[in-house]
Structure 1
Amino acid sequence: MKSDYDYIIVGAGSSGCVLANRLSADPAVSVCLIEAGSHDNNLRIQTPAGTITLYKSRKYSWNFLSAPQQHLNGRSLHTPRGKALGGSSSMNSMIYIRGHASDYDRWAEAGCPGWDWNSVLPFFKKSENNRLGQDTRLHGTQGELNVEAARDPNPVSQLFVNAAHKIGIRRNDDFNGEQLEGCGIYNLTQKDARRLSSYRAFVAPVLERANLTVITDCAVQSLILEQRVAKGVRVVSEGQPTRLTARREVILSAGSLASPSLLLASGIGPASELENAGIKVEHDLPGVGKNLQDHLDGLITVRSKSPLTLGFSLGSVPSIVLSPLRYVLGKKGWLTTNYVEAGGFARTPLAEALPDVQFHFVPGYRSHRGRLFEWGHGYAVHTCVLRPKSIGQLRLDRHGKAVIDFNFLSAPEDAKVLIEGLKLARRILADQQFDPIRGTEMLPGKHVQTDEQLMTYVREYAATVFHPVGTCKMGVDPMSVVGPDLKVHGIEGLRVVDASIMPSLISGNTNAPCIMIGEKAADMILRGDRSTVERHVRDHATAG
């Protein structure tokens, strides 16, 4: 295995795969993309409906557990992250959402010039291959990432959209258009009824590039630092420890949990925390691991006798048996579902001008017991707090192990928004659109009605919706980790490029923003390289 490269990218997730593509487009530059997980050549990953089997997979998921949550009855929350080429884009629900324009303007106002909406929009468009004929002022059509309509959405998903409209929530066919607010069927990152992860979109098509090396099943232990300059990484590959060196940059794209963990393991972070864990302090950077944010989710799940919904029963046996044939021959049927087919953004009575909750509607029964599969039929709505105020952290314990503490509901406002969101979801499900398949609400249950009862339910059942961000915050304040150029403060030759750099959580799913971050980072790196070359040419000419 070659051991020296121009760029080493740690993490083949949504941002890292974009970087690998763009940087390796120059044949004079060598790029190494490292993934701790395995290859993605498995039908469970490539078939959309397989996503439900991945969240607790030992092979394809990092099954992290959070610290006991003080405001959620001391529960530790399951926190899966993708463990394969494509990272979490190889196990997510493939929903293409950018968030609201104001999310990015807020980044710029927080000390991150160049990250406002007008500045990041071209990078969203660069990646996108919009197959829906949507507004070309806001969508791209020449990129690698297909954005398509769901192939064969369950008719119950349309009931949810119709019911939301009946209670006053507008229909929205493009959540990345002029307005975020409204309900509709989600657009997905798919191609030919198959998942289109960041790896499949950006790296698999360019594997023939001689200057691009992709290494799987390779665990990065720490950075190699010399005089506060990143020189490479220490890894374990095929059971053997080795060193890979980078002539230009090491780029961490391992996600909001692994990127700060690698910085801490390398002695970059809060000095007192590193000392307590017995790690040599290479650079005191107090913001590493802080500013953790995520969307907190509450579930309403209903049992129904209708075999129209996704589920396991004697009545659904024919559709289940025929689903492989329908998928292979017509790209239709159960195997095309991403489960959270419909949803949208709405304002509770607590909201001001912008939506404060997001819905993810499942046209199938979500187990009230937390099981992966449950016998029977039904439907469910997940409701999440869109702009949470609760801030957590990833820190080290005295043994040097990373502790993930979301600190959910530490801000009381979040609980109030979630309770109002659950009430709004119930109003949608109570509409007459659902009368033909009306069932029994299993969670929270009809006995849970008052705000106090709903609060008790939230503390017992609320969970993460899998959008952790912010732990290597971008900015210029004392708690920021990277600058607007994504270079780590105080360390040369090192950047962080993934969801961890977000100063604040965006209003929606995080995969598309991570791809944008990869695009913008690649552009900054390439422009910087060009400027360096041009400067060297000028200096040489002057000297001559």
Structure 2
Amino acid sequence: MIVGAGSAGSVLAARLTEDPSVRVLLLEAGGGADKFLVRMPLGMMKAMLKPELTWRMMTEPEPHLNGRRLFLPRGRLLGGSSSINGMVYMRGHSRDYDRWAQKGCLGWSHADVLPYFRRMERSWRADNPDYGHDGPLPVTKNNTQFLLHDELMQSVANAGFPVTGDIHAGAQEGASLVELTIDEKGRRASTYEAYLKPAMQRPNLAVVTNALTRKVMLEGKRVTGVEYEVDGDVRTAMAGREVILCGGAFNSPQLLLLSGIGPAEHIAASGIRVEHDLPGVGRNLSEHPRVPLEFAAKGKVTFVNQLRFDRAMRAVAQWYLLGSGPFARQLNSANPMLRTDDRLDQPDIQLFSNPVKLSAHLWFPGLVKSPPHAFSADVILLHPQARGHVKLKSADPHDLPAIQLNLFNNEADFATARAGLRMARKIYGTQPMADLISGENIPGADVQGDEALDEHIRATAATTQHPVGTCAMGTGPNAVVDPQLRVRGMEGLRVVDASIMPDVPGGNTNGPTIMVAEKASDIIRGRSLPASEPASEEESA
């Protein structure tokens, strides 16, 4: 039994039911994903704001960000957040996984997980042995027309920073062309589309949508099933083998807490019977914070031109009929992964570089005013030190959890963000991008000193929607699952999603989450792909 049909749950259900002797019940709190805004890549700008497609989560007031509450939309539909996200595909840096293994997560080093990345990929990099070519997940390169990609890449190089044709091989550093989970027909490749939808034809897989799981049911320390709700009707389902939670970094710890599994003091204070004292549940929350940087364009040179109503309607038709055009892509100009300090052994910032503000809207001369032409270059911290938590607001499963990210609760994260802002300014102030820019909108060219930049960070920092870590894998007292993803001290219960990651990988997290589910499917079946190194490293050895 699997709870949650998101980035991990859809993969797990599809892989486990490849064995006809295995029967899987998959429960999803949201509805279907066969929707126009979901399938069209550029529809992401609207899809993640739709209440019917998302959990409308907010942080508690963030103590180090002027008490602001941050918006945390998560997918509430088949495919989960992979159905509403920005579709950026990254594996993360190889050292990220080697650190997991060093923390006691045996079997999760880069050599261990690389075969699962390859198994899931259907990469555009034909005949490249570092990538998979027959997997269910399409990985395509972004169409950079209208995105000023070449100009940004040249500015990165002219500013003295590296560029690369492959961010996953070799030095794993530099500015590169962004890769996307968009299929060959220009449609979003969510885990619903790539994995679950084909598997739903199997007689051994049952999928129930609009099913809110209320708690797992226990007999002592053994999980026997779940209690869930459909249209106000409370039902139970018994598990023949295991219950596997795939709700993500917010919902999985919430469900454990609702079931009496977690920090005993917090559970008891919430009016719930303590079934198993497991202190780490809901702790260790890690997220990539981003700090905005915006430049005014010199002239009408940005993607705003493609948002003129008549052009946009033509682009929608082109996408629908041909799977191509300006709306069959991401808006990312390029994907710089850089080090703020040469002494670091891997990139610590990523620039979210777009030739348009994400708040831009359709316009038409004389009727609706054009959005301003601008470039955004948000600075993303890839390895933040801040850790937050997820707690219950009440014992009611309909209540969203209390989420505290604690972003920028330490000087090191401020220092990294400041360095990243200065690097981004240097890049955008270098030719040829400098010729396209008339000035700095946010935070403004006069904001220069450490104290002024820190004020900007506190006033504007947000998230990238990459939460992980709240049911962390490991061996210490705060570990929630072991390296086989079994909840420690329980029987018949696993967690398989981004919440098990000990810390956040250095890149977009959808790819790593899919990898976790791929590997978990083999763990559950008692098998494993042999460890391997990148072909590029083998050839150079």
TM-score, length-normalised on structure 1? 0.91
Counterpart of 2:339 (choices 331, 347, 350) is 347
2:413 maps to amino acid: D
Partner of 2:77: 84
2:230 maps to amino acid: S
Aligned residue pairs total 517
Q: Which runs of 5+ in 1 are unaligned?
A: 1-7, 530-544
Choose 34-43 or 259-268, whichever is displaced more. Answer: 34-43
Partner of 1:172: 164
From the superposition, tell whether residues 477 and 291 of structure 1 become closer, same or farther in structure 2 (CA, over 3 Å). Answer: same
1:42 maps to amino acid: K
Q: Is 1:376 matched up with 2:376?
A: no
Counterpart of 1:128 (choices 116, 121, 131) is 121
1:461 maps to amino acid: T
1:383 is displaced (CA, Å) by 1.1
1:500 maps to amino acid: S
From the superposition, tell whether residues 159 and 331 of structure 1 become closer, same or farther in structure 2 (CA, over 3 Å). Answer: farther
Partner of 1:4: none
1:352 is displaced (CA, Å) by 1.6
Partner of 1:460: 459
Partner of 1:158: 150
Partner of 1:324: 316
Partner of 1:5: none
Counterpart of 2:389 (choices 390, 393, 396) is 393
- 2:6·2:191 contact (CA, 8 Å) conserved in 1? yes
Partner of 2:243: 250
Flag as ranges the 4+ runs of structure 1 deviating above 6 A.
Answer: none
Task: String of CA shifts for 1:471-494, please: whole Å, max 9, x gaps.
Answer: 001011110000000000111000
After superposition, the CA RMSD in angstroms is: 2.0
Q: Is 1:189 matched up with 2:181?
A: yes
Partner of 1:532: none
- CA–CA distance in 2 between the matches of 1:153 and 1:523? 41
- 1:129·1:146 contact (CA, 8 Å) conserved in 2? yes
Partner of 2:538: none
1:63 is displaced (CA, Å) by 1.6
- 2:125·2:131 contact (CA, 8 Å) conserved in 1? no
Counterpart of 1:203 (choices 178, 196, 207) is 196
Partner of 1:268: 261
1:365 is displaced (CA, Å) by 2.5
TM-score, length-normalised on structure 2? 0.92
Partner of 1:293: 286
Q: Is 1:361 matched up with 2:353?
A: yes
Partner of 1:409: 408
Partner of 2:473: 474
- Secondary structure of the residue that 2:432 maps to in structure 1? helix
Q: Is 1:447 matched up with 2:437?
A: no
- Secondary structure of the residue that 1:311 maps to in structure 2? helix
- Secondary structure of the residue that 1:492 maps to in structure 2? coil
- 1:368·1:442 contact (CA, 8 Å) conserved in 2? no
- CA–CA distance in 1 between the matches of 2:345 and 2:434? 32
Q: Which runs of 5+ in 2 are unaligned?
A: 362-368, 529-541
Choose 488-497 or 157-166, whichever is displaced more. Answer: 157-166
- Secondary structure of the residue that 1:231 maps to in structure 2? strand
Task: String of CA shifts for 1:169-200, please: whole Å, max 9, x gaps.
Answer: 22222222223210022011111111000110
- CA–CA distance in 1 between the matches of 2:360 and 2:284? 32
1:380 maps to amino acid: S
- CA–CA distance in 1 between the matches of 2:57 and 2:352? 23
- 1:151·1:193 contact (CA, 8 Å) conserved in 2? no
1:14 is displaced (CA, Å) by 1.3
- 1:135·1:177 contact (CA, 8 Å) conserved in 2? no
Identity %: 38
- Secondary structure of the residue that 2:26 maps to in structure 1? strand
1:258 is displaced (CA, Å) by 0.2
1:374 is displaced (CA, Å) by 7.4
- CA–CA distance in 2 between the matches of 1:296 and 1:374? 30
Choose 335-344 or 104-113, whichever is displaced more. Answer: 335-344
- CA–CA distance in 2 between the matches of 1:287 and 1:528? 28
- Secondary structure of the residue that 1:521 maps to in structure 2? helix
